[in-house]
Amino acid sequence: MKLPIALLTAFLAAAGSSFAASARPPNIVFIFSDDHAYQAISAYGDFRNLLQTPNIDRIAKAGMRFDRCLVPNSICGPARATVLTGKYNHLNGFPNNSNSTFDGTQVTFPKLLQKAGYQTAMVGKWHLGSDPTGFDFWQVLPGQGVYYNPPMIRMGERVQVPGYVTDIIGDLSLEWLKKRDQSKPFLLMSQHKAPHREWSPAMRHLGADGDRKYAEPPTLFDNYEGRGLAERDQDMTIEKTMTDRDLKFTAPPQLTAEQRKQWDAYYEPRNAAFRAANLQGKDLVRWKYQRYMHDYLATIRSVDENVGRILDYLETEGIADNTIVVYAADQGFYLGEHGWFDKRWIFEESLRTPFVMRWPGVTKPGSVNKDLVSNLDFAETFLDAAGIPVPAEMQGRSLVGILKGQRPADWRKSFYYQYYEYPSPHHVRPHLGVVTDRYKLVRFYGTGEDYWELFDLERDPQELRSVYNDPEYATTVAQLTKELSRLRTELKAPADVPPRWFGNTEGAARKKAKK
């Protein structure tokens, strides 16, 4: 049920005093990481068998794994704004990372839980520009944060915290859980920086996988034939875009003397061997890919360990049975597919985010769902699970029915996507589109070189060839174009894109761009 805000406020005023007299609503632990590809979670499986994530897998085995969780805009800050508000970025006001600031006065699910009597906490990566609101406690990283000895902001006060950022976020999350008011249900948002670029591991995980050679994705050397200018003109390849910091030729400046000693002991002999080899061409790309995988996956080891610490605490305290636990990321990520790292695209590795959720007594253990769900649905799901009506302004839908094994008959069959940030970083052109279980219709816009693409995931799962101009697909194009128009109307997508939404306002073409 979705309610106007006035009625919702009245409901919450009454609900705050009713928990003691009714069944206690579930606690909610929302564990969120930055740029964690579903390909790097063993519960999802991957032909490359990149990494075992036993603790994230515990959530999936005890609950539900969502195989088609899509994001409306595949980039960090906008995804976080969507999680909080249950709204697309054209309505929550956070379309890009470059110049957006989150409006903390708007309705968010933590605020509504707080008003209904939940104790709420936010720990870790916030990345929304403004201070968190709706939380009884918060301690966050400023901006992107750093991996080692990070500065943090604790309830408005800047503090310096020694150690490795993932472990620090785990420590702070557990500290809050132990000190919380045990008479109240709680929401904990424990949000990790890892495995965000530049993928710097904990010292204990340097060399954790030896000198293993990871299997390469079949599209590592994609030449982008069969697609348009956007795919060829981006700046996010392993071959050309990675920096000395990404490749660990330069050490992070925040390291202590002892940390620097461990860092140099691991990386410097390997860097010396690399320089001596004088690799060129594809051999150089392969070397960069291997270093990327070793570092990226090592950061996830720490995330998985800290997920396990929270799960163990819930079980030890005897509260696991009444606690919803979610693990998700802000969007997908490229692990060498199409020669890329990063995200941003409507294409599968970027569009799909990992999402596993357990709800003891409600969700059947080991369930797998293949419906089109989204981080747009998280806010509505948490509110529904807590017995709180969903505000009418939210644009997602509660997943409670799906979690109970009772999918609504009218569940979505299509999904709207829109990306804005251009030209920097990574020079990925703005685009919008509609996604179904089989197709993606995409329009690249706003750069003076507008064009369309269509991908058939059944015949072309790696999205290597646009069939937009293939006569065989003319009916599909017409149907999807109509559906795209319907979704844009339903979701109140504006006809004109304000220049500031691109994050960089250079270029008259973008200033006049229309969706």
Res. 510: pLDDT tops 80: no
252 DSSP 8-state letter: -
Secondary element (H or E) of residue 147: none
Chain-centre distance for alpha carbon 472: 35
Residues of the chain with CATH 3.30.1120.10: 416-511
pLDDT-derived band at 514, boundaries 50, 70, 90: very low
The DSSP secondary-structure symbol of 170 reads: H
Which of the two residues, 21 and 130, has the higher pLDDT score? 130
- Taken as a whole, the chain contains a residue count of 515
**Residue 249: which pLDDT band, with cuts at 50, 70 and 90?**
very high
C-alpha span between 371 and 437 (Å, rounded):
8
- pLDDT tens digits along 377-399: 999 999 999 999 999 999 999 99
**Rounded Cα gap, residues 388 and 377, in angstroms:** 15
In the prediction, which pLDDT does 200 show? Answer: 98
Contact between 390 and 384 (Cβ < 8 Å): yes
Among the residue ranges 253-267, 462-476, 501-515, the one predicted with the least confidence is 501-515
pLDDT beyond 80 at 408: yes
Does 11 have pLDDT greater than 80? no
Residue 507: pLDDT above 50? Answer: no
Sign, Cα dihedral of 358, 361, 364, 370? negative
Domain(s) of CATH 3.40.720.10: residues in the chain: 2-15+27-199+292-408
Does residue 423 have a cis peptide bond before it, meaning omega lies within 30 degrees of 0?
Answer: yes
- Tens digits of residue pLDDT in 292-341: 999 999 999 999 999 999 999 999 999 999 999 999 999 999 999 999 99
Alpha carbon distances (Å) from 81 to 78, 95, 445, 479: 5, 9, 23, 31
Q: How far apart are CA 13 and CA 25, in angstroms?
A: 16
Q: Are 358 and 385 in contact (CB under 8 A)?
A: no
CATH number of 416-511: 3.30.1120.10
Residue 448 clears pLDDT 90, i.e. is over it: no
Q: Which residue, chain included where needed, has tokens 């499986």?
A: 45
On whether the CB atoms of residues 404 and 397 are closer than 8 A, the answer is: no
Taking phi over 0 as left and psi of -120 to 50 as alpha, with beta for the rest, 410 belongs to alpha
What are the tens digits of pLDDT across the range 124-164?
A: 999 999 999 999 999 999 999 999 999 999 999 999 999 99
Its pTM stands at 0.94
The chain-wide mean pLDDT, for the chain, equals 94
Which DSSP helix (H) or strand (E) runs through 216? none
pLDDT digits (tens, 9 = 90+) for 189-209: 999 999 999 999 999 999 999
Domain 2-15+27-199+292-408 CATH class label: alpha beta
Which of 409, 326, 376 lies closest to 31 in space, CA to CA?
Answer: 326
Phi, psi of 315 (to 5 degrees): -70, -45
Instruction: Sort strands 415-419 and 431-435 into parallel, antiparallel or unpaired.
Output: antiparallel
- pLDDT given at position 508: 33
Q: What is the pLDDT of residues 103-125, one digit of tens each?
A: 999 999 999 999 999 999 999 99
Q: How far is CA 211 from CA 248, 291, 295, in A?
A: 16, 10, 12
